[in-house]
Every structure is written in C-alpha cells, then in structure tokens.
Amino acid sequence: MNGAFPLCSNLTIVEEAGIPNLSNVTNMGSMFNSSSFNGNLNEWNTSSVTNMADMFRSSSFNGDISKWDISSVTNMSRMFFDNTSMSSENYDKLLIGWSTLNTAARE
C-alpha cells in the first residue's frame, strides 16, 4: 500500500464495501500523502504494518484511528507532518489509544 493514493483530491472511502483485508500489509508509507479525504479507517487491521512514514503527510485527513494496532510499526516519521486538519479530539484519542500498546520501537 506504499504510495497507494498520493495527491488524490476528494478521495472517497466506500464504507459499504466493508473493511479491507490488510492483514498482510507491512508498508503503508505515503499511502495518503497530500490527499484530501475523511472516512472510517478505525477498524483497519494494521497489526503487520512496520512502515507508516509520511502516511498522512500534507493530507486533510481528520478521522479516528485510535483502535489501530501499531505494535509492529518501526517507522512513523512525518506520519502527520503538515496535516492541519486533524482535530485535537481525534489526535488525543489516538495518543491515548496507542499509549497502551507495546510497540516494536519500545522494545
């Protein structure tokens, strides 16, 4: 999924299509870099992902991703760099949700 949707304006996540099977995905780097969208991504299985660098960089994403399992992630550099759309409420939720996980970076 590395670089899957960069520079997409008005990207639409079709929730009726269901939750995608991401169980084998390890690289989500730059996935939504410079994209404009909002959608429910909170139920995505991110437990195998090791790279989320630049994932939401310069995007206008404002969603709750606090349920993501980031325990395998080793690179989150610039994940939200220049993303000015995320609300304090959603950012607080993800910090609280992720603070309880044992992550690869902490080991």
Contact 63, 39 (CB under 8 A): yes
Q: Give every CB contact of residue 63 below 8 A, 6+ residues apart in sequence.
A: 38, 39, 40, 41, 42, 90
Paired with 51 in beta bridges are: 27, 75
Is the pLDDT assigned to residue 28 strictly greater than 80? yes
pTM: 0.86
DSSP string, 38-76: ----TT---TT--B-TTTTTT-------TT---TT--B-
- Condensed to tens digits (0 to 9), the pLDDT of residues 47-106 reads 999 999 999 999 999 999 999 999 999 999 999 999 989 999 999 999 999 998 876 555
Per-residue model confidence (pLDDT) at position 6: 86
pLDDT at residue number 53: 98
